Amino acid sequence: MTEPLRIGVLGAARISEQAIVDPAHATGDRLVAVAARDPRRAQAFAAEHGVERVLSSYADVIADADVEIVYNPLANSLHGPWNLAAVAAGKHVLSEKPFASDAEEAREVRDAAVAAGVTVLEGFHYVHHPVLQRLQALVDSGELGELRRIESRFTMPAPPADDPRWSLDLAGGALMDLGCYALHCHRMFARWAGGAPQVVSATGEERAGRPGVDERITAQLAFPGGATGEAHCDMAAADWCITCRVVGDRGEATAMNVVLPQRDDRIVVACAGGERTEHLGTRSTYLYQLEAVRAHLRDGAPFPLDVDDAVDTAELIEAVYRAAGFAPRPRTTLSSR
């Protein structure tokens, strides 16, 4: 039997249930400790989800000798500072995306993790699911021909006005919340496109009443091999859309929900021989992710993403922001909680 991972959770965020609690229950890993700004929320979270103990602060979770890996689902602006704090304590980290408020902070986390010899992972959970892997395999097999274009479209209805995703101080905005996925999808095809995508141009719109916060952004990208790309994100759309379309000179394939295929696992493939729909399974991306994390930490298995990947994505986000006329997100100084 593989020793269970010993996980400490920062905050009582809604995403935690599907991202770490349910997967840990499925894999038999331990939820050792949790802390939240509101102690009552932490107590309720622990009681509902079987967390072993409630601590008084994020710092206490990180310092707990029984915690070996810290899960960080805090507001965007708190990813970088608390990732750095966990690394300083010698802990591994599974961080929700985006990895940091800006590229400089991402590089600081990377350098600290390398120096400390700990593993810090950005939670792009979708890369572990057969949907993305099949999309890549369709390109790799040559069935679609030479890669010509990638289009990612990520939209959702607007969150409430007081949602942290609309806060500049908390490193909010459509590009940080949705667009990081849209850009990351493009980067996952770099090996078939001659290298990483570069920003050609970008346009965006500011959220009314929220200076500096992007409501939507569209980026035009170019790959060294000649393929082009478009990454679109909109955090105030009529409906959800989470698609990735890959076009070659002999056909194309579209993942209908590339990030959450547990909700729609279809890939629609259109080539000279006709159109077909493949189903790749609705098992949770987050469960695949935690299994990959534990295999990496317990058995030394390769992990598809590393801190360099996180830095590359942060740099691409920052380049898109600048091209669209927005400043990168401000950084946050670590508080005691």
Active site residues: 97
Sign of CA dihedral 60, 66, 67, 68: positive
Per DSSP bridges, beta strands 266-271 and 147-155 are unpaired
- Token duo for residue 205: 């719109």
Overall residue count recorded for the chain in this entry: 337
No. of helices (H) and no. of strands (E), the chain:
11, 14
In the chain the first and final C-alpha atoms are separated, in Å, by: 36
User: Which residues does 162 contact at the CB level (< 8 Å), separation at least 6?
Assistant: none
Preceding peptide of 98 cis, ω within 30°: yes
SS3 75: coil
124-134 core/surface letters (b: 16 or more CB in 10 A; e: else): bbbbbbbbbbb
- The secondary element (H helix, E strand) that includes residue 246 is strand 241-248
Nearest 5°: CA angle at 269, between 201 and 310? 45
